[in-house]
Amino acid sequence: MHGAIAHAHGVLYVGRSAKTATVEAFDADGRPLAARFRFRDATVGRSSVAGLDVDADHRVWVADEAAGKLRAFTLFGQPVAELGGTPEDQLDVRGALGAPVAVRARGSDDALVLLIASAGRRRYALQLHRPHDARTRVLTSLGEAEGAFDDLADVHWASARDPDGARGALAGAGDGEDVIVTAERRARRLQLFRGGRFVHAVSTAHAPEAAVRLPDGRFIVAFGAPHGGGGELALLGRDGRRIARLAGPDEVDQPSGLALSPGQSDAETRLWVVDREGTRVQLFTADGRGWGEFTSLAAR
């Protein structure tokens, strides 16, 4: 199983996976909301929530790695879109989803742009895609035309959720706020893109499972333990230098997803962490203080 989390419009969306995938909604303090649905791919007999996000039209986009598809639902689980299902021999080409593990959505209606990340070693693992006209832009690993991403686990898109910002990212214009951060497990690195163009890479000591970028350029990264339970949350500088451990193995257990709500200071910045295979969400601040958890998601 695996857990994914997104924060949109003041609501937390949490996904977890067994054979049947589940997505449910909570307010920022962990109180369950009515939105909750489950799904399973009829062809492969299972589905997963490797990543998820919610667009400006309140559609829930899910990276279903198990089925090789990107799916969209209403808040109450009505399917509204499905992308992918590409034959195995055509996975690493422009426009193909591969094995989607993360998705970020910006804009709405005809201006909707999706940032889609796929697992594995792939040249076309990170793409900006506009569903309205199937227009796609590929982001190149390390800025190299033939470069390949090595096992993407997560992407973070730090930009305003507005149509103009989404169109700018797809066109390659972008502005100072349009920043994309990738976390690669096997390569043990983060890559930063601005306006869709590669800026620099940051090496990490361990395999990152998820990463978010703070407004001042620092990173918060979730690392899972390589051989079972445990893991940590670390605060890294812009150059990747470790600044502080925000949570250790006694506080997080195989963290797999992060959701960020920036504040005026580290103490006011909220960070939600999903761990324990998607059955627990914890709230931290960017200075490492823990503010509780909501558990037993699997029992709901």
In the chain the domains, ranked by start, together with CATH numbers, are 3-216 (2.120.10.30), 217-300 (no CATH)
What is the pLDDT at residue 56? 94
Kindly report the number of other CB atoms within 10 A of residue 132's CB atom.
Answer: 12
Q: What separation in angstroms does the CA of 284 have from each of 32, 40, 171, 181, 261?
A: 19, 32, 36, 21, 11
What is the pLDDT at residue 175? 43
Exposure class string for 78-117: b at 16+ Cβ within 10 A, else e: eeeeebbebeeeebbeeebbbbbbbbbbbbbeebbbbbbb
Question: Which tokens go with 89?
Answer: 């021999």
Shortest CA distance to 212 belongs to which of 274, 254, 163, 167? 274
Shortest CA distance to 84 belongs to which of 99, 74, 102? 99
List the pLDDT tens digit at each of the 300 positions of the chain. 589 999 999 999 999 998 899 999 999 888 999 899 999 999 999 999 999 999 999 999 999 999 999 999 999 999 999 998 765 555 677 777 878 999 999 999 899 999 999 999 999 999 999 999 889 999 999 999 999 999 999 999 986 443 334 444 454 433 445 899 999 999 999 999 998 999 999 999 999 999 999 999 999 999 998 777 889 999 999 999 999 999 999 999 999 999 999 999 999 999 999 998 888 999 999 999 999 998 656 555
What is the pLDDT at residue 299? 54
What is the pLDDT at residue 277? 86
Phi, psi for residue 268 in degrees, rounded to 5: -100, 0
